Chain A
Amino acid sequence: MSRRRRRHQSTEEVELNLAAMLDMAFQLLAFFILTFRPGPVEGQINLRLPPPVGITTEGTAKPGETLSTTEVPKGLNTLVVSVFANEGGRIASMGVGENRINTLPGLDTKLQQVFSDKATPFDQVIIQVGGRLRYDELMKVVEVCTRQTLPDGQKLAKLSFVEAPD
């Protein structure tokens, strides 16, 4: 009797019901297809932004007294780039120090002149920006600044922003 049953079992085939599994797999697939949203390919400009500091020396010397410190005042190694905005938030004009500049290529040329000088004291830039200036216009100026190479071969990455009155 038992021998007969064993023989009967060995001839039985185990069959998986794949239809249920396929249903579940399709549900999962539908979920992933519906929630799939590829992220945009974005770039970025990396900056190191220290908080803006005053460019005048906090001296302890009294009037008439000679400064004994050998430290260069912070203001002397900071180049100020001014960007003025028009009513629409576009760049109206720019300035590097005392020089007035109207175009971005002009700004690029001026900055190249400044930083190509081996004796330049500047290693950081403060960008003085009008509050109305649009972000895309600001990024054009930032791009020009970060393109500059310092006399020591490093790329200019130390920038600070200051809001200028419109």
Chain B
Amino acid sequence: MSELEASAGKPNLTPILDMVFQLITFFMLVINFKAASLDLNLRLPVVGSARPVDTRGQTSLLVLNVDQNGELKVYGRPQPVAQYIAREAHVELMAARMTSDDLAAGKELPTTVVIRADRATPFRYLNRVLQECQKNGFRRFALKAMNKEESS
């Protein structure tokens, strides 16, 4: 920096720019777009033995949010249960056939259905979702719960 600049009181912006870029890098790394598929208004049940998510290398997950009125919500939008699950099963079947040729319609799909239901949801609504999934070939399920009560 020249003497003239220093005397003009021009601040050195380089360190602040460095710091801001570090912060941007941090937020870019921790941003999680998958969280958008979760309905955070649902109050999940608390189950002590619920384990943290372990996909074992499997990335194909179908997240279904079921509220206490039995409404299926995907990315915040209500969806008709039967049609939505049938459509997703068809998509998953097409995707699975790209890796394994002998997968016929109605056979077990490799996708895990992640059920996120409100703790007050009656079983009859949940069962409707489960049955539709089973009818369309889903067999692997993960029932979501909290390990401990959320502090509000």
User: Which residues on A are within 8 Å of B, measured CB to CB?
Assistant: 13, 18-19, 21-22, 25-26, 28-29, 32-33, 35-51, 85, 89, 129-136, 138-140, 142-143, 146-147, 161, 163
List of 3 A-B pairs having minimum Cβ-Cβ separation, nearest first: A43-B50, A32-B27, A136-B45
Q: A36, B30: Cβ atoms under 8 Å?
A: yes
Instruction: Report Cα–Cα, A22/B16, bound state, in Å.
Output: 8
| Given A44-B51, A47-B141, 19 further pairs, Cβ under 8 A | A18-B17, A26-B20, A29-B23, A32-B28, A33-B27, A36-B31, A39-B35, A42-B44, A43-B50, A43-B146, A44-B143, A45-B145, A51-B135, A131-B124, A135-B119, A138-B126, A139-B47, A147-B49, A161-B127
Instruction: Report Cα–Cα, A160/B119, bound state, in Å.
Output: 20
Chain B interface size, under 10 / 10 to 19 / 20 to 34 / 35 or more: 35 or more
Instruction: Report Cα–Cα, A120/B134, bound state, in Å.
Output: 28
- Closest Cβ–Cβ distance, residue B31 to chain A (whole Å): 7
In B8-67, which residues have CB < 8 Å from any A CB? Answer: 13-14, 16-17, 20-21, 23-24, 27-28, 30-32, 34-35, 38, 40, 44-53
**Residue interface bits B95-121, CB-to-A below 8 A is 1, else 0:** 000000000000000001010111111
Find chain A residues with CB under 8 A from B90 CB: none
Instruction: Report Cα–Cα, A138/B143, bound state, in Å.
Output: 11
Find chain B residues with CB under 8 A from A135 CB: 45, 117-123, 126
Q: A43, B119: Cβ atoms under 8 Å?
A: no
Q: A132, B143: Cβ atoms under 8 Å?
A: no
Find chain B residues with CB under 8 A from A139 CB: 45, 47, 143, 145
Q: For chain B, what secondary structure do more than half of its interface residues adopt (helix, strand, loop), or is it mixed?
A: mixed
Cross-chain pairs A/B with CB under 8 angstroms, 18 sampled: A19-B13, A21-B17, A26-B20, A32-B23, A39-B34, A40-B146, A41-B52, A42-B50, A42-B144, A49-B130, A49-B141, A85-B123, A129-B123, A131-B124, A134-B121, A136-B45, A143-B47, A146-B49
